[in-house]
Chain A
Amino acid sequence: MSVPLGGVVINGVKIEDVFAEAFAMTATRIVITAVSYKWAQHAAENTTGFATSIIGCGVEADIERRLSPFETPDGRPGIAVLLFTANKKELARQLAARIGQCVLTCPTTALYAGMEGDDRVPMGDHTRYFGDGHQIAKRVGGRRFWRIPVMDGEFLCEDSTAVSPAIGGGNFIIMARSQAEVLQAGEAAIDAMARLDNIILPFPGGGVRSGSKVGSRYKNLAASTHERFCPTLQGATASALAPGVEAAMEIVVNGLGVQDIINAMRAGMQAVCHLGPANGITGITAGNYGGKLGKYEFHLWEILGDRL
């Protein structure tokens, strides 16, 4: 890695000396199983739909990974889903709605807690009322489940799941010479990060094209376009984009712990650097609020191994 005056460059990609500002959140993991991955996937995709940002959706959720039958409580194919919210109360509310509308309804599914702990939120304890008095509570091996009669037999749902402090908003911003090239880099970063446990990339496909800033000229809007990163506004603003940069993309990552975020950001940025200027990549930066809002700071140079 060469170190020219003014910055760190990896494989020709300039890494800015900035940090990503991230926030404390509350999270849980749930495990959806079904007779096949196909049906577990249907339930998981619906459960994590409309869940990109807590600002407008109330929850940030995505599929963490597939689970083999050897990893699930009932020995069937499963999918782990992570959900992040601002607080436990909202998490309970979102879980109740999404389980009831998206998991209970999906053929052959069952639902389990994906996290252990004493601090818990209800799952089946809310959904059980759909059984209209015919639901059955059972305890197996110290875990409590609800069996809710439905048309294809029973929906089995664990009574509750544990919650955990978590982190949302780890990020980095890729800058490239064209939209196609920033998309290619974004996809490479997303692919590398998606292999990791304990994290999700909550935005559509894992990428954000509409990175935002706090505030707006319009009173009712909490956030608005981040004009410094908009290539079509380079002449009208104090642009953060170097000449020749025609597109940027932000990758946002939520994780259960600091090290999870670090690992994910490192994997993503390394994938981008690997593509390098030959594929149109010019630099990587990150979004923050001057350290005034978020509890966590993820410094790009520290994550990539060297800090000058």
Chain B
Amino acid sequence: MILTLAREPPARLDMADITPGLCAQKSAREVAALKLPMGRERPALGDFFEVSDEEPERLVVRESGPRLGGLGARMADGKMLVEGDAGDLLAAGMRGGEITVRGNAGHHCAARMSGGRVTVEGDAGRFIGGALPGHMRGMKGGAVVVHGNVGDRAADRMRGGLLVVGGRAGAHCAARILAGTVVALGGCGPRAAVGMRRGTLALGSADTFEDPFFHPSGRYAGVFMTLLMRHLRGLDERFSRLPTNCPSQRCIGDASVAGKGEVLVLELPPGGLGGPPATA
């Protein structure tokens, strides 16, 4: 099904209920008649979108913009393509399926996500994979790939899953992380991993990581890194030039909270990901 935004909503339109699974079971007319939360109002989807039955294999949102909130938030399966930007809460609560956003994503992307796969080809806002206000835990499963940069507080209180940032993460990346893996190939801003309990933060070699509560534990080139690199190469073509293994400088912390997480500063080859692709 294709939803083409014809009239921009005057406020944030909550698209969480619009899933590939739902659209597969309804006709275009039925989907257009669905009521969606927009502040105190509940307009019909058809008030803003043109709906067509084409593309039966997936849900496509065209001319998408930042006022479309919660895209994919209740997805459990199926595929969604967002041609344009996505608003806040993209894939927040997603349990399965795949979403691809051709543009940028707003804040709180993948909050409470527990499964599935999200790809943002542009940038993403703050708190990606992090906990929502009032919640103690963020993303707990699935994989999120952002080709560009992400804002502050990425993976804040993350509980599991994988977040890969092709560009740079903002400040407080992986702060208070409980588990999971965050890879920021372009490095990150200050105060990364503060309050880290467990989990892994891997940083591109653009930065050196320094924190008095993280203890250096030498050079790391274990088999886990081989598995991670291989997984990343297969996850997104953008990472196909990652090496077979990537030694790193490892620190354990955050000791101020008795944490046993790790920060790995990757020794990427010169030129970053511009070298020949790995053979295995």
Contacts and interface: CB of A to CB of B under 8 A. Distances in A.
Contacts of A139: 160-162, 180-181
B137 interface: no
Interface stretch (B6-14, B37-45, B145-153, B222-230): B222-230
Interface in B59-99: none
Interface string A120-148: 00000000000001101111110001010
A120 to B, nearest CB: 19
B29 interface: no
Nearest to A134: B260
A154 B280 contact: no
Interface of B: 160-162, 179-181, 198, 200, 220-224, 226-228, 230-231, 234, 244, 260, 262, 280
Given A70-B280, A136-B198, A136-B260, A145 B224 contact: yes
A99 to B, nearest CB: 16
18 contacts: A33-B223, A70-B280, A73-B230, A74-B223, A74-B230, A75-B230, A76-B223, A136-B198, A136-B260, A136-B262, A138-B181, A138-B224, A140-B181, A141-B227, A141-B231, A141-B234, A156-B223, A156-B224
The 8 closest A-B CB pairs, nearest first, are A75-B280, A154-B222, A156-B223, A110-B223, A141-B231, A74-B226, A140-B227, A74-B223
A133 B198 CA distance: 12
A110 to B, nearest CB: 5
B133 to A, nearest CB: 27
A34 to B, nearest CB: 10
Nearest to A35: B223
B222 A156 contact: yes
Given A138-B181, A140-B228, A140-B231, A154 B200 contact: no
A73 B262 CA distance: 23
A69 interface: yes
A75 B244 contact: yes
Given A139-B160, A147-B222, A154-B222, A74 B262 contact: no
Interface string A18-32: 000000000000000
A153 interface: yes
Contacts of B161: 139
Contacts of B244: 75
Given A74-B226, A74-B230, 6 more contacts: A33-B223, A110-B223, A140-B231, A141-B227, A153-B220, A153-B222
A153 B224 CA distance: 11
A69 B280 contact: yes
Nearest to A152: B222
A154 B224 contact: yes
A65 to B, nearest CB: 19
Interface string A171-191: 000000000000000000000
Interface residues on A, range: 20 to 34
Given A138-B181, A139-B160, A145 B222 contact: no
A76 B244 CA distance: 11
Interface string A80-121: 000000000000000000000000000000100000000000
Interface string A52-89: 00000000000000000110011110000000000000
Given A70-B280, A138-B181, A138-B200, A145 B260 contact: no
A108 to B, nearest CB: 9
A76 B234 CA distance: 18
A154 B223 CA distance: 8
A233 to B, nearest CB: 55
Nearest to A73: B227
Contact of A74 (B160, B179, B227, B260): B227
Contacts of A137: 179
A73 B162 CA distance: 18
Contacts of A134: 260
Contacts of A73: 227, 230
Which of A138, A145, A147 has the largest number of chain B CB atoms within 10 A? Answer: A138
Contacts of B181: 138-140
Nearest to A141: B231
A33 B230 CA distance: 16
A201 B32 CA distance: 65
Interface string A234-255: 0000000000000000000000
A141 B141 CA distance: 11
Nearest to A143: B227
A220 to B, nearest CB: 47
Contacts of A140: 162, 181, 224, 227-228, 231
Contacts of A153: 220-222
Nearest to B252: A134
Given A136-B262, A154-B222, A145 B160 contact: no
Which of B181, B223, B230 has the largest number of chain A CB atoms within 10 A? Answer: B223
B218 to A, nearest CB: 10
A73 B226 CA distance: 9
Interface in A144-170: 145, 147, 153-154, 156
Nearest to A157: B223
B226 A75 contact: yes
